[in-house]
Amino acid sequence: MASDERSPAERYRDSANNRRFPRTERFSAGVSFPLDEFQVDACRTMESGHGVLVCAPTGAGKTIVGEFAVYLALAEGRKCFYTTPIKALSNQKFNDLCDEHGEDQVGLLTGDTVINGEAPIVVMTTEVLRNMIYAGSYTLNNLGYVVMDEVHYLADRFRGAVWEEIMIELPPSVTVVSLSATVSNAEEFGAWLDSVRPVTKTVVSETRPVPLSQHMLVGNTLLDLFDDSQANRLNPGLTKKIARQQEREWRQHRRRRHVDRARVVERLDRSDLLPAIYFIFSRVGCDAAVEECVRSGIQLTTPSEAQAIRDYATAATAHIEPGDLHAVGFKRWVDGLAAGFAAHHAGLLPVFKEVVEALFERGEVKVVFATETLALGINMPARTVVLERLIKYDGTDHVMLTPGQYTQLTGRAGRRGIDVEGHAVTLWSPDIAPKQVAGLATKRTYPLDSSFAPSYNMAVNLIATAGLKRADAVLASSFAQYQSDAHAVHIAEKARALGRKVDQEAAGAECEKGDFLSYFELTKELSRLERAAQKKRKGQLRDAMKADMSGLKRGDIVWLGAGRRSGWAVYLEHTRPRRNRGAEAIFLTTDGRATAYALKRLTDVLVNGRMRVRKGFRRSNVDDRNELAAALREETSDKPRPTRRAGKSHDPKIDGLRKEIKRHPCHNCPDTGQHSYHASRWWKLRSERQNLQRKAQKRENSLARQFTNVRSVLMELDYLNVTGEGDVTVTDRGRLLRNLFNEADLLVAQCLHDGVWEGLEPPALAALASTVMYESRFEEEDFYVAAPGIIEEPLAATLRRYDTISRLERARGLELTSRPQRGIAWPMYRWASGEDLADALRSFEGPKAMPGGDFVRWTRRTLDLLHQVGEAARTIETDSAQKLAKSAFDAVDAMKRGVVADL
C-alpha cells in the first residue's frame, strides 16, 4: 500500500513497527518485492528473540524467513546453520547463499562433502547436525540460529526422528526457525515446539501466492473440474463428456488404455499451459514419456534454444569421462532436452537432475516428466502440473494419494510474478472419478504425524552424553509422545463416556430373581466354549483329510467335496510345487476331465475304493480319459456318497456350564428377553470400553517401553551395562556404536567388534559394506550376477550376526535391522577396483538393471558408511582394526571419483 493511501493511524502503526523492528525493515527494503504479511510476522518474531514455525503453501516464499535468520546471524556476529532433508536441496541452498553472501561466508556439510565448514553460514543435511550435537562438535560454538527447512519431513518413517532429536537437544540459546508445508495440525506441532524450545510462535498462511485452477483432460478435451457458478460443485459438462468418452471407448473395445503423452503435451501447448511438470509415479514411465515425445517429432524449442541447451548440458558434464556418459545414455538425454523434454527422478545422475532443474527454471525445457521426489523443496515452479494417476507405490503397496500429497504436488503450479493463475490437470481414466479429484483438491486435512522412534545409536549417544534419566526425558518430550499422550487423553475420555452408557444398560438388565448380568456372562461363556469345540472337530476333519491326501495312490477312487463340482473322481498324480504355486493333485472326474486342484484349496477328499489305471494311460489323450471315465462311472454307480465324521467328544466344562445355567435363579425369568436386550448391549459397550482403556494404556509412555526394549537388546549384546546403583553406562562396544549413524548401526558395530570385516582389501570391504546399506526396490533380486567370492565368508559371518540381532528384536517386538542384501556387491567391487561406470553397470542383468543414478546414490551411501567404519575402527586399539580403518579410507578414496565425486 502506498504511503499516501494509508490512514494516519496506519501510518503511525507502521512507523512504530519500523522503529521497533529495524532489522526486519532493513532486510525487507533489500528484497526486490514487498513481503507478505506472514513473512513480516515471522521476521518480527525472530527479531524479538523467539523461535518460529512457519507453515505455508509451496511457493509462498517460506525461505525468505530462513534467509532473514541468516541475515540476523551475520548482523549479530553469530553462526547460522541452514538444514535440509536431502543433499540436492543442501547443494541448491549452498549455491543460492553463496550468490547472496559470497563463497567465503558460506560452508557446506553433507556427510561426504566438506566445504568451508567453519563459515558463519553453513548449509547441511539434518543428519550432519544431529551427529555434531551428539559428538559435542566445537563447530556448534557461537551458533545462534538453525533453520529447519522442509520440517514436515519429520513424518518420514525412515529419517523423521532426526528432526525431533535436533529440536530437543539443541542448546536453549539457539533460535530455531522451522519451515513447513501446509499442515492441518500446525497449532499442535507449534505447541509441542513451544514446549521444547520456548518461546516458539506459530505463523500460518493458507493463501497461495498464485491462484490454482483445477482441470481434467478427457480424451483431448480440457475441462474445468468445478462449476464456476457454485463453489466446489462439479462441472456438469465434465460428467457428460466422461459419459460420452466411456461409451466411445466401449464401442472401440479398448481393453487396456494407453496414455498418449505426446498428444497430452501437444494439447497443453495449444492451450498455452507450458511449462509443465508432468507427474508419473514411475521412473521407467518418466523415461518412456521422454522417448515417446521425441519419437513423435514434437519440438517445443526453437533451433537457437536447442543449441543453447546442448551447449549448457555439454559444459555442465564436461568433467565426466566420455565412457561414463555413454554408459548412462548421455546422447539420448541431450536429444530429449534439446526438444524441450526431460525426466526427473532418483535414477538420474545428480548432475543430470541439476541441469534439468536449471534449464526448466530458465524456461528452455518446457516439460519435465517427474516422480514425486521432485515435490520436495526443489525450486522448479511451473505454469501447469499434470497428474497422470492418483495412485502411487509407497514402498509396500499401491495407494491413493493423500490430500496433503496432492496439494504438495499441485503446489508447484503457478509462477509468482509470471502467471496470473496456475493450473492442475488430472488425466481422466475409468479408474479416476471427478469426485476423487475434487475430494483431494478441496480437503484441508493434512496432519503431520511424528515418526520418532528410538534407535540403537540414539540410545548409546543419549545415555553416554546425558545419562539414562536425560535419555528418558528426551523420549518423553518428543513430538511422538506428545501426540500419543494427546490421543491417550482423547481415548480415555471416550472410555469414560462409554462407561456411563455401560452403567445405564446394566440398570436396564436388573432382575428381581437375581444377578442377570452374571447369568448372561455364563451364557456367553457357554457359546464361546461350544464354538471352540466345533472348531476343534473341524480341525480333526481337516487332519483326517490331510492324512488321506498324503496316502493317495494312483487309482484311488475319491469323493471330491469341492462345491458345485463335487462328485466321484479317480486320483492320477501330484504335481511338483511351482513358483508362486504350491503342489497340486490331479484327478479324473466322471465326465472325463483331468483337473488339477491346489492341495491347500481342497475342502475335503474321501477315499472309497480303488480301480485299475492301465499302464500307458495318458491324460492328454481324449480317448484314454473317456475310457477311464467310463470305468469310473461303472465303478461308482452303486456307491453311496461317503461322509466323514469326527468322533463325538464330551467337554466337562461345557456340561458343567449347562448345569450351572439351568440352576441359576434368572434362568426361568419371564422377562428374560428384555433383560437379555440390555445385557447384550451392556456386554458390547463394556468390551468397547475395555478395548479403549487398553489402547489408552498402550499409548501412555509407549516410547518409553520401546526404549526399554532397545536398551534390553543393547544390554544383551554388551553395549550397555547396569551398575550396582542401578544406573546404565555405555561399554566399549557402546562407544564404538556411537560413531555409526545408519540403519544398520548395531549390525555394523557387531561386525567391527568381532573382527568380521578385518583383513579385506578396499574393493572387497566396499562390496561387503554395500550389503548392509542396500535395499532392493524389487521383491526378488534377479538383476545381479553374484557377489565377489572373496566376501562370501565374511558375508556369511555378517548374516549370522544379523540372525542373532533379528531374533532378539523379534522377541521384543522390534523391527530396526534389515537383512543384508548382496544386490550391488559385485558392481560396487568393480567400481572400488577402479573400473569405469559402464563396466560396473554391466554387472547387472535382466530388465531390472539399475539406472546409473541409483548406482551413484547407493555408492554414496556406501561411502558414508565406509567413512564411519574407518572412524569407528580407529577407536579399536588393535593392529588389525587399524588396518581395517586404512582399508575403509582407501576404499573411500578409490570410489570417490567421476560421477560419484560430482556434487
**Per-residue pLDDT tens for 78-131?**
999 999 988 878 888 998 999 999 999 999 998 767 899 899 999 999 989 998
Encode pLDDT of 803-843 as tens digits. Answer: 999 999 999 999 999 999 988 888 899 999 999 888 888 77
Encode pLDDT of 7-22 as tens digits. Answer: 766 666 666 666 788 9
Over residues 321-348, mean pLDDT: 90
Q: What order do you get walking across the sheet with 594-598 strand by strand?
A: 594-598, 584-589, 567-574, 556-560, 605-610
Over residues 543-571, mean pLDDT: 77
Distance CA 92, CA 106 (A): 13
- Residue 222's pLDDT band, with cuts at 50, 70 and 90, is very high
The string of DSSP letters for 393-437 reads E-SSSEEEPPHHHHHHHHTTBS-TTT-SSEEEEEE-BTTB-HHHH
Say if residue 141's pLDDT is above 70.
Answer: yes
- Residue 37's pLDDT band, with cuts at 50, 70 and 90, is very high
The string of DSSP letters for 455-510 reads -HHHHHHHHHHHHHHHHHHHHHTSHHHHHHHHHHHHHHHHHHHHHHHHHHHHHHT-
Over residues 467-479, mean pLDDT: 85
Which is higher by pLDDT, 131 or 255? 131
Encode pLDDT of 372-400 as tens digits. Answer: 776 565 678 899 999 998 887 766 667 88
Over residues 773-793, mean pLDDT: 65
Over residues 530-558, mean pLDDT: 79
User: Which contiguous run of DSSP H or E holds residue 589?
Assistant: strand 584-589
**Burial class of residue 212 in the structure, from the number of CB atoms within 10 Å of its CB (0-12 exposed, 13-18 middle, 19+ buried):** middle
pTM for this entry: 0.72
Over residues 718-726, mean pLDDT: 85
- The per-residue pLDDT for 779 is 42
Which is higher by pLDDT, 644 or 537? 537
Q: Which long-range contacts (CB under 8 A, 24 or more apart) does 356-360 make?
A: 357/92, 358/312, 358/316, 359/309, 359/312, 359/313, 360/275
User: Which of 275, 280, 273 lies closest to 214 in space, CA to CA?
Assistant: 273
Which is higher by pLDDT, 699 or 558? 558
- The per-residue pLDDT for 781 is 46
